[in-house]
Amino acid sequence: MLVIIREDFEDMSREAGRLVAERLRRKPNLILGLATGGTPLGLYGELIRLHREEGLDFSKVTTFNLDEYVGLPPEHPQSYHHFMHENLFRHLNVDARYIHIPAGMATDVEAHCEWYEEAIRRTGGIDLQVLGIGANGHIAFNEPASSLGSRTRVKTLTLQTRQDNARYFGSVEKVPRYALTMGIGTIMEARELLLLASGEGKAEAIRAAVEGPITALVPASMIQMHGRAFVIIDRAAASRLEHTQFYSRSLEEAVIQRRNTGRPSTVDS
Ligand code: F6R
């Protein structure tokens, strides 16, 4: 796991953008896992800028989103379909046929979840999965006590998650009670993970995920088990980390540190 601590949200977003852009330049038909919420918005802004100013090409990219609320149609302003379209896809040259987001209105939910898993498999698997983290340590909508081997399925949202997301809906009552979400097992199969977090409100979740024990009570702690996980966070989100000697300020610094300590010079874990 490589932990990179940047100054603030903008700085975190730029660093994450550099990483995603580098992977995309290396593999134009990248299979990219995407998240919603406030955290990746800066990264998405950066990708849009790179597309506009530097011609970063998304035409061959396939995307898989982590989750969607059950019962919200794609055109609902709070659906993740709508979020992705507004905040990313409509600004890029992504081919609509290559976009995948779980269908919150699926009638046969189990069959849909199986189809989603199969669709990921058919592409050869996700190359890079972007993740946010809930204040309660969730990744995607895998709430505390989710099975660490779970696959795409329906999850009941905790009250804390519904309260955290009430800001988008106007009131907690309007936040759906269920979501379709990739499982932790699904996420762990991505070849690389990129977990982002910003702000004091995420500091405890980041401490538990990065320095705490691996436990289903903090689903994000499973990233410690992944061979190629990048955790790019800002100072505020890093404020409760204790072992800062192991962390870096940039991807380059991480590479240099590894060289100096005789470890492999690639950014590898
Ligand atoms: C959304 C998702 C969630 C969010 C998390 C943090 O697709 O997977 O796990 O990443 O709830 O949300 P924000 O970024 O709004 O704080």
| Cα distance between residue 171 and residue 183, in whole Å | 27
Give pTM, 2 decimals.
Answer: 0.96
Give the distance between the most distant pair of CA atoms in the chain.
Answer: 56
Query: For the chain, what is the HEC assignment?
Result: CEEEEECCHHHHHHHHHHHHHHHHHHCCCCEEEECCCCCCHHHHHHHHHHHHHHCCCCCCCEEEECEEECCCCCCCCCCHHHHHHHHCHHHCCCCHHHEECCCCCCCCHHHHHHHHHHHHHHCCCCCEEEECCCCCCCECCECCCCCCCCCCEEEECCHHHHHHHHHHHCCHHHCCCEEEECCHHHHHCCCEEEEEECCHHHHHHHHHHHHCCCECCEHHHHHHHCCCEEEEEECCCCCCCCCHHHCECCHHHHHHHHHHCCCCCCCCC
Instruction: Give the pLDDT of residue 255.
Output: 76
269 within some domain: no
Task: Give which of 187, 183, 212 is closest to 131, Cα–Cα.
Answer: 187
CB atoms within 10 A of CB 37: 17
267 within some domain: no
93 within some domain: yes
Total domains present in the chain: 1
214 within some domain: yes
Task: Using the atom order of ligand 1, give the atom closest to the CA of residue 138.
Answer: 9
| Residue 139 CB less than 6 A away from ligand 1 | yes
268 within some domain: no
Q: Which domain holds residue 209?
A: 2-260
Residue nearest to atom 3 of ligand 1 (CA): 140
Instruction: Give the pLDDT of residue 269.
Output: 53
Low-confidence stretches of the chain (pLDDT beneath 50): 264-266, 268
85 within some domain: yes
Q: What is the CATH number of the domain that holds 138?
A: 3.40.50.1360
| Residue 136 CB less than 6 A away from ligand 1 | no
27 within some domain: yes
| Cα distance between residue 142 and residue 162, in whole Å | 13
pLDDT tens digits, one per residue of 155-174: 999 999 999 999 999 999 99
To test the ligand 1 pocket, which listed residue (9, 80, 82, 133) has its Cβ within 8 A of the most ligand atoms?
Answer: 133
193 within some domain: yes
pLDDT tens digits, one per residue of 45-68: 999 999 999 999 999 999 999 999
Instruction: Give the pLDDT of residue 263.
Output: 54
pLDDT tens digits, one per residue of 234-258: 999 999 999 999 999 998 888 777 6
| Residue 39 CB less than 6 A away from ligand 1 | yes
- List active site positions: 67, 136, 138, 143
Task: Using the atom order of ligand 1, give the atom closest to the CA of residue 36.
Answer: 7
Instruction: Give the pLDDT of residue 236.
Output: 98
| Residue 66 CB less than 6 A away from ligand 1 | yes
| Cα distance between residue 74 and residue 71, in whole Å | 10
